[in-house]
Structure 1
Amino acid sequence: MRIPSIMRHLVSHHHLRPAIALPPFATGSCNSVCNSFVSSSSALGATASMSSASSRGSNALALLPNYLVDAGGIEFYDERAAPEGCLQVSIAENHCVAPMMVEKVNDVQRNSVFTPDMIYYQNTYGMAGCRESMAGFMSTIMGTPSQIDPEQLVIGAGCNAVLENLFVALCEPGDEVLLPSPYYATFSFDLGCRAGVKLRETEREWSEVELEGNALTRAETYYPQIEDLELAYQRGEKKPKVLLLTNPHNPLGICMPKSVLDGLVEWAMGKGMHVVSDEIYAGSIHGQGFYSLAGEASKNQNVHVVYALSKDLGASGLRVGALLSSNEEVLAPVRKLNDLCQVSSTTQQLVEKMLGDKEWVAGFLKENMRLVRGRYERVLEACNEAGIKYLECDGGLYVWLDLRPWMREGETEKDLGSRLIKEHGLLMTPGESMDMRCDGFFRLVFTAVGDAEFELVLERLRGLA
């Protein structure tokens, strides 16, 4: 996860495309982005060798992972030009909802009026109407006991920007953040690039976790354990300032129950730490219930929640993220830092009108759950046919596969990943890139492609048998 490259920066979570274009969501766009980033990585490497970049700039590249760079030169799938090409199922985007989103965005734009005041500077932390609609939407998907206060929200250009600004406000350069392993691939970049924050991971021996049949023997085995957190907390001279969680979990897809989250918050509060919960998949629940820390963040000044529209609405190109916090001492600097990454007035108007349509939101969330659940179940069926073990989950857009039996003697996870690409036409996220301390696990994003390509994904999974 900490190997130099600019490619894994785009693979996993929040920042996958520079901008949205309507109609968006073309399957080929992911492939072209991958190829362009490989080229950019080479160019940046050449620039660095000429000493044109600062050490700080070079360090930004060093914080990014590299498995897509290793995959450079791959011919990606194209229905006509490359029907045998590789299918990109490592980028966490939701292509299932593309038709609904494109229709709604076009409808809102047709019926919107660009007013003179929208030309000028807006509140650095978000226009009032946008924050109100976002507060209502987040209250719905996060099931808060009361409506989220829009004044406790900061609207920024995606989860990455929001996270970075939050950690600038919470930490000094060189401070450490504690987080359970495995974790979202580019936290190292988001927190370390400019905020200068370091990660301190738990060190569980995941090789000891065995799968029985096609389900975990004990799902709770993957929940963060206080004992592991305590060991990691005591490791090193500095004490971590923040406990960073993802729920629903990325890459595992599990949703931590209230009892577990309450215990984690209580432990962190006892250490005088802040808790940050990344809940970007809060509206992509396809199994059992999801418990959010948003209610706690609304009243506990040391608990903060980050969210974005990238996953649940399939709108990674809109670049709309949010911080929820009741701590004015934290909100004040974040509001000012957000001056560097505001969301445009036109996008905020779109979000206000789209999320303000309660009837549409209710129908969208219901249909999204149906579509995501349908794909999840079909992937599991294909895995069962191929004898692939997996982690059953309740949220997210992906499934965690145990491909250890496919590793040949003396083969590394990187070797296996290369074979999966060349022999089976599947580019998945390797576990190593997410600090999984046991070779052979991969994350497959089952919403990363359109319907026709998804059928090919299933066919190629079955081909692993």
Structure 2
Amino acid sequence: MFSSASSCLSSRGRVIKWFWDSAEEGYRTYHRDEYDEDKNPNGVINLGTSENKLCFDLLSRRLTQSDMLRVEPPLLQYPDWRGHLFLREEVAKFLSYYCKSPAPLKAENVVVLNGCASIFSALATVLCEVGEAFLIPTPYYGAITQHIYLYGNVRLAYVYLDSEVTGQDTRPFQLTVEKLETALQGAESEGVKVKGLILINPQNPLGDIYSPGELQEFLGFAKRHLLHVILDEIYMLSVFQESLEFRSVLSLERLPDPQRTHVLWGMSKDFGMSGLRFGTLYTENQDVATAVASLCRCHGLSGLVQYQVSKLLQDRDWINRVYLPENLARLKAAHTYVSEELRALGVPFLNRGAGFFIWVDLRKYLRKATFEEETLLWRRFLDNKVLLSFGKAFECKEPGWFRVVFSDRPQRLRLGMQRVRQVLESNPK
């Protein structure tokens, strides 16, 4: 697992380096040969990274307006490590409004970090002992494995879901309390102490939205077993299908266990600012908030960024009248285009209305139902200069599922789908 060149590292350092070295070769290939319409038109099109690249024009205009450009002494000095009070107050107001909380949320329950990856790392470290685990339904956003392990040496216990539909009221990869109970019992029978449950809502990579009833059932399960629940709601404003309603856990009238319910949100997805590195934790547990805030010494935001974020969150008129309607319209158009391309190819997929991705069933293109065959197909896409994410990266139990990200500008999206078509049409079924 580790080379002799790592002998100068601690055991932790070798594990950390291994995570970096074992990262998907596709992303290294992409960064060496990135598509550019003018400079590198034969480069790799990235339909694998979940980033919203549709609204740079709107964001650049707003972020360069005069009210964003302010420098004063407090912004250049050490802040409260939870985040400047002016920002935490705006976050509380923002979440109260967009999460439709029954009572105003409180700034004292807000902690600000440089991205939700840092929040996952911090929560795992302060909630779990070394070797303990969180339950997580699969398929799931695979980077969480690294987030919770690197600092806290915390693991994941998988709740394996499958694509089989067993009745009229069921859907592929559906999570139920019964499956949670089975996974918990399985982990405990192996001597693994489970401390919490991680839920992503809207879900990545499925695009599913948990109903209020489902949320209450999952939270009730967690309370019965004294488990913390981490709710990642990073895509909450990226629900583009009008018939769908997202309900934040913060909108529920009564949480079964408020002291063990912790909510994440950030600007990487809903506002297309993954490079800004802003994430926020909302928790009523002040011990948890304080412990996470202590780690903000390593994961804080610059004062200038905190000021810009607060001004943006405060601008409800721009968000509601300009940004959100246009962003959702562009997401829907891009999703429609890719969906139509997949239908034309006869490729099955989950037709959801949230997030930036489509969960695509390419099992019929595998010669054998193995993850080795899945990797070979993924590599054929990469050889044809289009990067996708394969199901194994999300711990999907069924080989042959892929995530296709559609939140890119039309020209790159068209070219990427042309390359996908070339691979599939040349691949024996």
**TM-score normalised according to structure 2 size:** 0.90
The alpha-carbon distance between structure 1 residues 210 and 258, as it changes in their structure 2 partners (threshold 3 A), is: closer
Report whether the alignment pairs 1:415 with 2:376.
yes
The alpha-carbon distance between structure 1 residues 67 and 329, as it changes in their structure 2 partners (threshold 3 A), is: closer
SS in 1 for 2:87: helix
- 1:395: which partner in 2? 354
Contact 1:223 1:260 in 2 (8 A): no
Match among 374, 390, 393 for residue 430 of structure 1: 390
SS in 1 for 2:117: helix
Deviation at 1:387, TM superposition (A): 0.9
Whole-angstrom distance in 1 between the partners of 2:105 and 2:21: 36
After the TM superposition, which segments of 4 or more aligned residues of structure 1 sit over 6 Å from their partners?
Answer: none
The alpha-carbon distance between structure 1 residues 264 and 73, as it changes in their structure 2 partners (threshold 3 A), is: closer
The alpha-carbon distance between structure 1 residues 273 and 72, as it changes in their structure 2 partners (threshold 3 A), is: closer
Match among 35, 41, 44 for residue 83 of structure 1: 41
- 1:203: which partner in 2? 160
Q: Residue deviations 1:230-266, cap 9 Å, x none?
A: 1111122233110111000011111111111110000
Whole-angstrom distance in 2 between the partners of 1:428 and 1:170: 34
Contact 1:108 1:353 in 2 (8 A): no
Superposed counterparts of 1:22-421, under 5 Å = 49-63=5-19, 66=22, 68-69=24-25, 72-73=28-29, 75-108=33-66, 112-204=69-161, 206=162, 209=164, 220-235=171-186, 236-287=190-241, 288-295=244-251, 300-363=258-321, 364-409=323-368, 412-421=373-382
Whole-angstrom distance in 2 between the partners of 1:452 and 1:166: 40
Q: Which amino acid aligns with 2:263?
A: V
Deviation at 1:350, TM superposition (A): 0.3
Deviation at 1:137, TM superposition (A): 2.4
Structure 1 unaligned residues grouped into runs of 5+? 5-44
Q: Residue deviations 1:333-369, cap 9 Å, x none?
A: 1121212211110000001111111101112112111
SS in 2 for 1:180: strand
Which range is displaced more, 383-392 or 233-242? 233-242
Structure 2 unaligned residues grouped into runs of 5+? none
Contact 1:157 1:343 in 2 (8 A): yes
Which range is displaced more, 266-275 or 227-236? 227-236
**TM-score normalised according to structure 1 size:** 0.83
Deviation at 1:106, TM superposition (A): 0.9
- 1:8: which partner in 2? none
Deviation at 1:408, TM superposition (A): 2.7
The alpha-carbon distance between structure 1 residues 264 and 63, as it changes in their structure 2 partners (threshold 3 A), is: farther
Whole-angstrom distance in 2 between the partners of 1:136 and 1:108: 23
Contact 2:74 2:303 in 1 (8 A): no
The alpha-carbon distance between structure 1 residues 65 and 250, as it changes in their structure 2 partners (threshold 3 A), is: farther
Aligned length: 412
Whole-angstrom distance in 2 between the partners of 1:264 and 1:65: 36
Deviation at 1:203, TM superposition (A): 2.9
Contact 2:135 2:196 in 1 (8 A): yes
Match among 414, 423, 429 for residue 455 of structure 1: 414
Contact 1:277 1:306 in 2 (8 A): yes
Q: Which amino acid aligns with 1:209?
A: E
The alpha-carbon distance between structure 1 residues 72 and 331, as it changes in their structure 2 partners (threshold 3 A), is: closer
Deviation at 1:97, TM superposition (A): 1.3
Contact 1:89 1:445 in 2 (8 A): yes
Deviation at 1:80, TM superposition (A): 3.4
Whole-angstrom distance in 1 between the partners of 2:81 and 2:326: 34
Contact 1:164 1:190 in 2 (8 A): yes
Whole-angstrom distance in 2 between the partners of 1:323 and 1:405: 42
Whole-angstrom distance in 2 between the partners of 1:257 and 1:73: 39
Contact 1:125 1:339 in 2 (8 A): no
Whole-angstrom distance in 1 between the partners of 2:134 and 2:206: 20
Q: Which amino acid aligns with 1:306?
A: L
Whole-angstrom distance in 2 between the partners of 1:234 and 1:444: 34
Q: Which amino acid aligns with 1:274?
A: H
